[in-house]
Amino acid sequence: MGRKGYGVETAATGRDALEKAQGRFFNLALLDIKLPDMEGVELLEPLKKSHPDMVKIMVTAYASVETAIDALNKGASAYITKPLNMDEVLARVRDTLEKQHLVAENRRLVGDLQQELAERKRAEEALRKQSTLLIQSEKMSAVGTLAAGIAHELNNPMMGMLNFTEYCLKHTERDDPRYRVLQNTERETKRCIAIVENLLTFSHMEREGEEAYRQGSLAMILDRVFQLLTYRIEKERVSVTQHFAEGLPDIWMKTSSMQQVFLNLISNALDAVKEREKKEICIDVCCKGEFIEATVADSGCGIDRKDLGRVFDPFFTTKPVGQGTGLGLAIGHSIVQAHGGEMKCESELGAGTKFTILLPIERRKERENP
């Protein structure tokens, strides 16, 4: 029935009150401290579980400090003594419900604010990532243009130098003091030509359709790479372990490009373990859903945390001057992305490095390099 605009339900016992509270919503409960079947304070805990936001006001003719403190400690919001003054009761009910409403409204506003802040944070993070991609795209485009120009300018004179040096070597006796100088010139010229070829690869200036996609095995690719590196691995006494999961499917790829990726990664791993007491390189290839996952892990010197975010940047290298161009990982990263895959690096200074490559089993549309 309605009382002063409020919907009211009554219960003669504590058990009756709990039954009526099940499955229904109540804003407030007026609980007598003495009930026929239990103490009123015994209702506070079960009512709190079923109605966390319910306001509970205790009513009693046996007021004492101890009973008041006990009731408040167990979850009562207020305490009213008998005989009841209905105007006072209604005023207390009205004030309590207004406070309850304010608490609920504040809670809602806080929730809305938290959601807004979370959405803003997500938007800012998405914008940051997009900005980073755009900056990286512009940087890669500029570097590619620069690399192409440098490569074309250097290629012809370098080949001329190599041909002239080889001609001089052919017509110089081995015991001639100049022979060793010419050998050094030949070696360094070839190194410069290799750098130029890397620049051309990086700037994507190979002819369209020069290398076609075909189905191939990563095991076959890695076998070729290790054939090329066998002499160095044995000479430097590096322990190499390979694990290939059973039933690995062939994948669609540009085999020469993929060979370049793994040749670079394993060559870098050999460089990393060269001065280490423990010289180990581990290769693991397995299926990950629609992808093949390949990892190249070494026991080398590791990469400083501050440099991890730059390992795929063109021309960035931690190697001494003259021992690396900083293009290998940038080129490999671009090749893997063009295949619709992903390459990532994990490393800890002094504890080694692991590169993980994910390649789709089925051919995907080539993507623009970020």
Domain end point (choices 84, 103, 127): 84
Q: How far apart are CA 298 and CA 282, in angstroms?
A: 6
Query: Does the predicted TM-score (pTM) go above 0.85?
Result: no
Cβ neighbours around 25 below 10 Å, total: 9
Q: Is residue 227 assigned to a domain?
A: yes
**Residue 125 forms part of a structural domain:** no
**310-357 per-position pLDDT tens digit:** 788 776 666 654 455 566 788 888 889 888 899 999 988 888 899 999
**Structure tokens, 58:** 């205790």
| CATH number, position 217 | 3.30.565.10
* Coil vs helix vs strand at 154: helix
Per the DSSP assignment, residues forming a β-bridge with 142 are none
Strand 28-32: give its sheet, edge to edge: 28-32, 55-60, 78-81
Total tally of structural domains belonging to the chain = 2
**CATH number of residue 29's parent domain:** 3.40.50.2300
Residue 143 falls within a domain, yes or no? Answer: no
Whether residue 83 has a cis bond before it, omega within 30° of 0 = yes
Say if 18 falls within a structural domain: yes
Instruction: Answer with the one of 37, 62, 84 that is the final residue of a domain.
Output: 84
Which residue, 28, 50, 84, sits at the end of a domain? 84
Per the structure, the complete domain to which residue 290 belongs is given by 212-360
Whether 275 contacts 301, CB under 8 Å: yes
For residue 330, the surrounding DSSP H or E stretch is helix 328-338
Ordered mean pLDDT values, 10 residues apiece, the chain (370 residues): 69 87 83 85 85 82 69 78 78 79 79 83 74 59 66 80 91 91 88 70 48 85 84 89 92 86 90 88 93 93 81 69 63 87 89 92 59
Query: Does 236 reside within a domain?
Result: yes
